Amino acid sequence: MKTYLTSNCNNYDIFNAFDDFFAPAYFDRKNEMRANVKESDEGYDLSLAMPGFGKDEISVSLENGYLTVSGKKEVKEESENAKYLRREIKETCERSFYVGDTVKSEDIKAKYENGILELFVPKEKPEVPATKYITVE
């Protein structure tokens, strides 16, 4: 069975993006971290940009074939007089990748350094059925 590594993302509606001068560009992705994904025979190497997050603010989970990476910062109290013209720095972000059922969940490795989360998701080796010889009588 072939595994497909895809991403879930929230895209902006191109028509609503032009209604407000301060709206994000139509090609921008809401609350999404950027990722590099490489596939090898052994598994998948993912590098995700998560600047500003600490190790304790990042969680990685695997459920129903989806690998989900999320970051959540503590929201600081703000002054009631604060008036933002544009707010792009997010306190939360999440991204999911479909890796299928052919990965070894117990062997997933994660390392976070200098704002980059690196994950290695190993593939399970498919069992090769043993050849059974049948004697002809």
56's tokens: 């304790």
Measure the CA–CA gap between 85 and 80, rounded to whole angstroms: 15
Q: What is the DSSP letter of 19?
A: S
Q: Determine, yes or no, domain membership for 64.
A: yes
Neighbours of 71 (CB within 10 A): 22
The domain tally of the chain equals: 1
Query: Does any domain span residue 132?
Result: no
In a domain, 137, yes or no: no
Cα 110 off chain centre by = 12
- Print the domain residue range for 18: 6-122
The yes-or-no verdict on residue 9 having pLDDT over 60 is no
126: left (phi over 0), alpha (psi -120 to 50) or beta: beta
For position 115, which CATH number holds? 2.60.40.790
Question: pLDDT band at residue 45, thresholds of 50, 70 and 90?
Answer: very high
Q: Are 104 and 42 a contacting pair, CB within 8 Å?
A: no
pLDDT at res. 32: 67
State the average pLDDT for the chain.
77
Average pLDDT over residues 44-50: 93
**Residue 21 falls within a domain, yes or no?**
yes
pLDDT band at 60 (very low <50, low <70, confident <90, very high): very high
Task: Output 77 or 85, whichever has higher pLDDT.
Answer: 85
**Quick check: is 133 in a domain?**
no
Specify the amino acid at residue 11. N
**79 in a structural domain:** yes
Asked if residue 107 belongs to a domain, the reply is yes
CA dist., res. 4 & res. 48, Å (int)? 18
pLDDT of residue 77: 65
* Residue 65 lies inside a defined structural domain of this protein: yes
Assess contact for 136 and 85: CB atoms under 8 A. Answer: no
* pLDDT at residue 8, rounded to an integer: 43
